[in-house]
Amino acid sequence: MLERLLMAGGLALIISLILGPFLIPLLHTLKFGQNIREDGPKRHLKKAGTPTMGGVIFLVGIVAASLLSAEQPTSVEMIAVVGSMLGFGLIGFIDDFIKVVMHRSLGLRAYQKLIGQIALAFGLTWVAVQLLGRGTDLIIPFTAIHFELGWFYYPFVAFIIVGITNAVNLTDGLDGLAAGTTLISALCYMLIALLGANQGGGVAVLAHESDLAVFAVALAGGCLGFLRFNKYPARVFMGDTGSLALGGALVGLAVLTKTEVILLLLGGVYVIEAFSVIIQVISFKTTGKRVFKMSPIHHHFELSGWNEWKVVLTFWAAAFVFGMLGIIAYLPSLG
């Protein structure tokens, strides 16, 4: 098992490191440059024109490494989790393509993205329940209790799936922020998947649950390789292609390990980022005042005088703490 994990992480890392120097100049040549919000931190204006849609770099590495390292690469589990990542990534790619290539600033309309995301969410939950026998119960964090939802499982978990994928998208606002936090979350899911496979927790009915650990470590390796080019000052941005794909990968792991609720804790940074936007919008529309200097909240810290690298490191540290809490919250379910 250790060999397969090392192979998956190493392959994803190497492929990302190899693809970067080839793809980044190509994106430059094609003029797939990032547009920068004028109402954001002024220091970000110098990032205008930095190539985007770079999420393709780590997606190729993650998919190749997962399929080459998995015990059963064609199992329904692997197809489901890889499909979740690529499905959400496709929505992001279409959005990026419209904005960057067709020069339509709005990209996909919000309702169009939402329809696609909801369809993928219900598709993922249906596969997990109907084809994999996942059941419609949820693990209650920090307990051994499994709460049965019945048919309500589908809309409830679909809401979490759509929420988290968009929250990861919101987190992708500073160099290396989304890639680093997802790397940490992925390593936590590697541990959760291994614990579930070895102790009979999580989705015990999955015949190849250890392959989820392989996918998780490939996800971490891909993010690590991408950080070589995306850390401050970034040479490439992942775009919605990458950020929605990362969200899709995490929710896929969550559904297949029965940790959808625990993901809200393990991915606490994403949740905080999303809630900062919600709070800001509600406050401004009801009182005309803003709670934060700018949302998502990472921009608030920037405008408060923190340099970008300090914000990113602080959020990485927070992601580590939330990840450890998520693992602790999962342990009682192992029985």
* Residues annotated in a binding site for Mg(2+): 169, 240
Token pair, residue 171, equals 């987190």
CA separation, residue 234 to residues 47, 107, 110, 180 (Å): 8, 23, 27, 13
d(CA 130, CA 258): 14
Residue type for position 136: T
Neighbours of 156 (CB within 10 A): 16
d(CA 165, CA 159): 10
Which residues, 6 or more positions from 126, have their beta carbon under 8 angstroms from its beta carbon? 154
Binding site listing: 169, 240
Which residues, 6 or more positions from 296, have their beta carbon under 8 angstroms from its beta carbon? 170, 171, 173, 273, 274, 276, 277
Contact 284, 290 (CB under 8 A): yes
Token pair, residue 40, equals 């954001």
Contact 84, 124 (CB under 8 A): yes
Residue type for position 265: L
